[in-house]
Amino acid sequence: MDMFVIRGGTPLTGTAVVSGSKNAALPIMAAALASSGKTTLKDVPDLVDVRTLCQLLTALGMRVERDAADNLQLEVTDTRPCVADYDLVRTMRASVCVLGPLLARRGRACISLPGGCNIGDRPIDLHLKGLAALGAEIRVERGYVIAEASELRGTRIYLGGPCGSTVTGTCNVMVAAALARGTTTIEAAACEPEVVDLGNYLNQMGAEISGLGTPFLEINGVEELTGTTHRIVPDRIEAATLMIAAAITSGNLRLENVERPHLTAVIEKLSEIGARVQPLGNRSLQVSTDGELRAADCIALPYPGIPTDMQAQLMSLLTCAPGMSVVTDKVFPDRFMHAAELARMGARIRREGPSAILSGVKRLSGAAVMASDLRASAALVLAGLAAEGETAVRRIYHLDRGYERLEAKLCRLGANIRRVADTPDNFPRTLRLDPAAAEANVSPGPKWLNQEGGLRQSRRSA
């Protein structure tokens, strides 16, 4: 297992090119299962989740290749397999995106239920409700969802749930409806740009979907989806993560390959916190800071709100903004594993239901921290970039799932990050606290975490 050793304190400067969106690429790659031609996808990021899905698609009878120009070529060569096994699905929940395409094209899908997840409950009841409404017979047996249909029929489907709509659920139902007989209307569809990208890809293949980007989709079923070439939208989460890297290090970054309208909520919030975000031409922007950061309240909501996938990174930024901030997640209300790790770095955070209340500190201090999920890992890397001294971020395999060589991008901007094997020898010396020396050293430190997760002086000097 690898870890990052980060020496914080360098303002990031320079230019970074944002990769294609992971969350758009995954459902689009899965949807290629429903087509009967060759698909060429451009700008598919080269990261672990994409490689995992390539493995699953290969097992499902697809030829998958990255060509010399870094495009992903996909073509169904065998339409018989229909089982997505637990070993792959448990490592990546987005594997569930093969459910709709398999059912639509092969009449049967057998997908392992993914099980628990570090960001909270992630049921797939809405996916199943939508597919059942289209006429699929669905049962759960031995940990697998088995969905069967000799024919899917268009109908009216409401996809709203207790926390809004469902992104991958909308993707599954949209692909199945694209090949159903008759017209389907989906109400409370997810409006995320990644869903729109999938809809555009399906339309390029001959589907008839209107209303993309709104909660009301109308889908006229067609007989067949043919192959096409499609460029994946830029990753708005990677772009926003890099924007926060600029703000948290008082840096000055130019980002290229950004779709600014997809970032409106994040740009507004960062401006409120004290970042200066300026458009540069069509698909670039410049981010710098405007003096001291300011506290702000953030609520993660379905699109066009602040994405839940940015909640952890915004929290890292706000730990260093003087004053009180409240960060609330309405999409995944339990997604706060990073808060305790940030507290290890000196952040003052108190959890209150679906919210975290932050009291900004002057400076975070480097520590050994544990990544718990993909976006939490990014938040800890950002905190490490801003912290005094060295930070060891462990279990970064979570980060590798969803960011394409993030540390290489950050190092090109001046960050000091080393990827090393997580062994005792590689553990930073500066983070090895000798208890005897710590007890003897009464003033001015070392510092100890108090019960609220804030910093106070060592027990003797307090």
Q: Could you list the active site residues?
A: 117
Q: Least distance (Å) from ligand UD1 to the CB of residue 309?
A: 5
Q: Which residues contact 451 (CB under 8 A, 6 or more apart)?
A: none
Q: Least distance (Å) from ligand UD1 to the CB of residue 138?
A: 12
Nearer to ligand UD1, 167 or 455 (CB): 167
Binders of ligand UD1 among 280-309, rule CB under 6 A? 307-309
Identify the CA nearest to 385 among candidates 187, 241, 198, 234: 241
Phi, psi of 78 (to 5 degrees): -145, 120
Q: Which residues contact 447 (CB under 8 A, 6 or more apart)?
A: 346, 365, 455, 456, 457, 458
Binders of ligand UD1 among 331-390, rule CB under 6 A? 331-332
Question: Which residue among 38, 90, 108, 122 contacts ligand UD1 (CB under 6 A)?
Answer: 122
Nearer to ligand UD1, 97 or 393 (CB): 97
| Residue 96: strand, helix, or coil | helix
Residue 107, Cβ neighbours under 10 Å: how many?
16
167 forms part of the interface with ligand UD1 (CB under 6 A): yes
Identify the CA nearest to 180 among candidates 157, 196, 161: 157
Nearer to ligand UD1, 21 or 359 (CB): 21
Structural tokens at position 305: 């709100």
Structural tokens at position 117: 């997840």
Residue 438, Cβ neighbours under 10 Å: how many?
16
Binding mask 65-104 toward ligand UD1 (x if CB under 6 A, else -) reads ----------------------------xx----------
Cα distance between residue 242 and residue 253, in whole Å: 8
Question: Which residue among 46, 65, 87, 121 contacts ligand UD1 (CB under 6 A)?
Answer: 121
Identify the CA nearest to 173 among candidates 142, 207, 144: 207
Q: Least distance (Å) from ligand UD1 to the CB of residue 231?
A: 18
Binders of ligand UD1 among 307-326, rule CB under 6 A? 307-309
Q: Least distance (Å) from ligand UD1 to the CB of residue 215?
A: 13
26 forms part of the interface with ligand UD1 (CB under 6 A): yes
Nearer to ligand UD1, 167 or 417 (CB): 167
Strands 390-394 and 368-370: parallel
Interaction site with ligand UD1 (CB under 6 A): 23, 26, 93-94, 121-127, 161-164, 166-169, 190, 194, 307-309, 331-332
